[in-house]
Chain A
Amino acid sequence: MENWLDKTILAPVKRRSFMKWGTAISGAAIVGSALPLKATASPSAEKSVIASDKKTTWSACMVNCGSRCALQVHTDNGVITSIESDNRGDDKTFGKHQIRACLRGRSIKHRVYNPDRLKYPMKRVGARGEGRFERISWDEAMDLMADKLKYTINTYGNDSIFFTYGTGTQGYRTDGQHAFKRLINMVGGYLAYYGNYSWGQIQYALPFTYGSTKSAATGSYTSEIKNAKLLVMFGYNPAETRMSGGGEIYEHTEALRESNVRTIIIDPRYTDTMLGKEDEWISIRPGTDAALVEGMAYVMITEKLVDQTFLDQYCQGFDEKTMPKGSPANGSYKTHILGQGADGIAKTPEWAAKITGIPAKKIIQLAREIGTTKPTYIVQGTGIQRQANGEQTTRAIVMLPILTGNIGLPGTHTGDMPANYSYPVPTLPHDSNPVKVKIPFFLWTDAITRAHEMTDKTDGIQGAERLENPIKFIISYAGNMLVNQHSDINKTTEILRNEKLAEFLVVIDNHMTPSARFADLLLPDITTIENTEVSSDGYASGSMGAVVPLVPAIKPLYECRSAYEMCTELAKRFDIEEKYTEGRTHEQWVEHLYDGARAKDARLPALEQLQKEGPFQVLASEDGRIALEDFRNDPVKHALGTPSGKIEIYSTKLAEIAEQWQLPKGDVISAIPQYVTTWESHLDPKTKDYPLQLVGFHTKGRVHSTYHNVAVLREAVIDGVWINPIDAKARGINNGDPVRLWNDRGETRVLAKVTPRIIPGVMALGEGAWYRPNRKGVDMGGAINTLTSQRPTPLSKGNPQHTMLVEIARVQP
């Protein structure tokens, strides 16, 4: 069994030649269970030939890009031969258009048949992180995990159990993390986190402006671009972040082509969203968008281009007359911009030019264009908020639609991310978590080392005033956050190596990732191609939602088991099997929950039909596609969830937080959005040692760290650090040269991509490459998190993973 699996992995099936062969020997006797792989290579081995048994099943790519693309998995005799995507029906009609997978989904065969696949349960035998393991049985593995869980609960309490953030199987509704959370909630709960590495700052910050009832990612739909006269995109890059042919980039491109709307894109990189689709690229230094907005606000205010009626009626704190009672004098946005506020600096275009790197006359021109064009659709991406003060940046950008009254009307947006329809496919139910205290998603390493210091006023602890217990037991399911994707890998691994801190690390995954190497117990999950599920379209499919079936294309490889199976075994050891399963297998849960969904929505086909015919598409309603339309129509009846019910340019809650919280030196929280010069910005004196800014981006060659170990993807999209020819020349670096990137936190090696497509003084590196330290601890894998910092952002305590200063040099190959 193992032997043929290994052969399958090492020698992918030659489908074409096999097909020819199959035809030639049709009618030949079926012999044994071996695959005809060798037969293709050496036709003399006739004994190993079996007749062809071809099947096609629907599945999906379940990773965290935001979309959920359909896959048709072709198999022959239980081995995957090739992948097709959605090729059904009428692709020309919007709403019925095919959910075409991108290059990642298309290469999923190599994720399934991958030399890195975990084959059986293993326990650590060497030191933590050394990567030395010993094979154990499932019974031993489940006993060990249950014992350690019981020990942890009895010794420290449930609040010392933590699930790392992990989105490698994000599409699961009834398995994966849902299975684990159902179990742990039944045995007393776990320490939960709030927020996420993708949108930590924007989702925390924008409700202060727009109210909690209108959370982030519920802005206007992309389809509304068609009704705009001007489109302004701050760091919004769907071509590289939303690549599904049934999702945001397709809808975005269609909207642009239909309306030919004038498009201005602000970004440090000349991204793949541009390529001639834009009318203007404004290159900007990372972390300075708020300064650009303030420079424009100065022009709009002094040239009377603001919508004063809108600001008076719908907003709090634009000028002194709409400031809340009891607020400090000269604390309004207008006084701040004009230099009459606390800092006394007028935010002129010349002031903004020096900070942003954008010429002052360009800032003036842009302000006049936005100020005089209605409707203007203003949107932001979220790389922009993954910065040292990303909360300020995100709140600053939404000032543009606010100042110009481009809100709640056709062709407008709030300045947030665009909205997406997401079909609500039910998830495996679980009780509420009995542990009420929560930490910010980014502070889990702090909760291992200094839990006793962490309070609501210092570290954003929610649900309690302070943390009672440090994290002792970590479950990392389908995630690479344990090592690879969290900031500052060298600091994280040092913490993890200390077995007295986090005492037990369980990693459940498909592959031997950099995080898996740090496990005490390593459990092999089946891949999503081997599992049954009914998933939804995700959160980035534009206005088309879908119900997406997954049917196992092949039997689970090796000894891999699903999370639900693992949890059922664990439940037995806690004597709650019946309670956990309710007598259902995983497949029965899928059927049961789908039946529930059908009872609510009669449009849904029967499960068998869905599984046979593929994803069921549902278009979002034409109503409700414009953000804050109801508020614009009736600001009293549809008051926002802010304290004033209005758009709070001056946030009453933030004013309180700014007063009450204890912040480290240099951190700023303010009631109005304002540009803040942060640590490791281009104005930090540290530029003396590390003169270049480095930002991460989402490379097309993988999804975060998933798919990184697929050779054909590494070939197609080579990891290289983007560097402007001016910076490269000064350092004698040529395109394709091996280089070292370093700062005080670490060093990584990668190739140089010398390209004019990035602003001078700034470099960019695709995130997610796997950490591969050499003996000296230098990362040879190009993992950006060897360079990022664990210092959290001021307000959401989120990840500043695009704020860092580095130096670069050529290395001898």
Chain B
Amino acid sequence: MTQLGFYVDTSKCTGCKTCQLSCKDDNDLPVGVNWRRVYEYGGGDWIQHEDGTFSNDVFAYYMSISCNHCAQPACTKACPTGAMHKREKDGLVVVDGDVCVGCRYCEMACPYGAPQYSHEKKHMTKCDGCYDRVEQGKNPICVESCPLRALEFGPIDELRAKYGDCADVAPLPNPSLTNPSVIIGTSRNSRLTGDKTGRIQNPTEVGL
């Protein structure tokens, strides 16, 4: 089996959210359903000196995450109906809307916030890796739309050979939980998973 996955270069990303919106447009997702989300992570402190001037050690960066099509997905384990399943062919994790009963267990189980409940459809929805586009030899819409060329998609083995296998970057969870098919390109601002010096700056925008 070929496992497909994403490379997210946070040193290129400017947090513009074009990936999130192109996905939304292509999949006709309503407000409240975001198959790709862009987390703003940042922190640091300010010091005021005696003369009224300031110094700081502020940092920030963005983390664009959709579904990581994990090798050991938490969502499929939590699914009572089998609607949430991992495709044999390419390792993409997709939900069968005709089978899903909308219990939202997968949403609770996924540490990346990937499964998104649709109030309209009354079942779960999520990033399907644009498998229909991929079958036509195209990239997922998010990858193709990125103005900064910060996203790549392909067989994860090939991407890892090119970019390594870093995925333990805040605010992402420990990758040993689900073995995600994602690689994070780091910047000089990157903080390790579990970092306590920053926090997610845009909770509402990412549905938290």
Contact = CB atoms under 8 A, between A and B. Distances in A.
Q: Do A and B bind each other?
A: yes
Interface of A: 12-16, 82-85, 87, 91, 100-103, 106-107, 109, 239-240, 243-245, 249-250, 253, 257, 270, 272-277, 281, 283, 350, 353-354, 356-360, 700, 711-713, 715-718, 724-726, 735-736, 753, 755-757, 759-760
Contact of A103 (B21, B46, B203): B21
B147 A244 contact: yes
A16 B94 CA distance: 15
B62 A275 contact: yes
Given A244-B147, A276-B190, A715-B31, A249 B14 contact: yes
Interface of B: 10-18, 20-22, 24-28, 31-32, 38, 42-46, 48-49, 51-56, 58-62, 141, 144-149, 187-190, 201-205
Contact of B16 (A239, A277, A753): A239
Contacts of B31: 711-712, 715
11 contacts: A102-B147, A103-B16, A245-B18, A245-B148, A275-B60, A354-B51, A700-B15, A716-B17, A726-B46, A736-B204, A757-B58
B155 to A, nearest CB: 20
Contact of B20 (A103, A239, A272, A756): A103
A283 B57 CA distance: 11
Given A107-B25, A736-B203, A756 B58 contact: yes
Contacts of A756: 42-46, 56, 58
B11 A276 contact: yes
Nearest to B198: A756
Given A12-B28, A275-B15, A724-B46, A283 B54 contact: yes
Contacts of B202: 718, 753
A283 B21 contact: no
A106 B145 contact: yes
Given A357-B53, A757-B42, A107 B21 contact: yes
B48 A760 contact: yes
Q: Identify which of B10, B44, B58, B145 gathers the most chain A CB atoms within 10 Å of its CB.
A: B145
A716 B201 CA distance: 13
Given A13-B28, A757-B58, A760-B46, A712 B12 contact: no
Contacts of B45: 756
Nearest to A710: B21
A106 B18 contact: yes
B146 A353 contact: no
B73 to A, nearest CB: 22
Contacts, number: 172
Which 3 A-B pairs rank lowest in CB-CB distance, beginning with the nearest?
Answer: A245-B147, A276-B187, A276-B189
B144 A87 contact: yes
Contacts of B26: 15, 82, 84
Contacts of B48: 726, 760
Nearest to A713: B21
A787 B16 CA distance: 27
Contact of B21 (A15, A239, A240, A716): A716
A275 B13 contact: yes
B187 A700 contact: no
Contacts of B14: 239-240, 243, 249, 253, 272-273, 275
A724 B16 CA distance: 22
A354 B187 contact: no
A735 B200 CA distance: 11
Given A82-B26, A718-B205, 9 more contacts: A100-B145, A106-B21, A239-B15, A253-B148, A275-B14, A357-B54, A700-B15, A700-B17, A736-B203
B66 to A, nearest CB: 14
B25 A83 contact: yes
Contacts of B146: 100, 245
B187 A14 contact: no
A460 B180 CA distance: 63
Contacts of B52: 354, 357
B112 to A, nearest CB: 18
A16 to B, nearest CB: 7
A14 B28 contact: yes
A103 B18 contact: yes
A91 B149 CA distance: 10
Contacts of A84: 22, 26, 141, 144-145
Given A243-B147, A273-B14, A717 B25 contact: no
Nearest to B12: A253
A234 to B, nearest CB: 18
B50 to A, nearest CB: 10
A350 B31 CA distance: 51
B28 A353 contact: no
A432 B18 CA distance: 42
A758 to B, nearest CB: 9
A243 B59 CA distance: 21
A759 B15 CA distance: 21
Contacts of A357: 52-54
B54 A759 contact: yes
B138 to A, nearest CB: 8
A717 B62 CA distance: 13
A716 B204 CA distance: 9
Contacts of B61: 275-276
B187 to A, nearest CB: 3
B15 A272 contact: yes
Contacts of B141: 84
A805 B145 CA distance: 40
B148 A249 contact: yes
A757 B60 contact: yes
A753 B13 CA distance: 21
A708 to B, nearest CB: 15
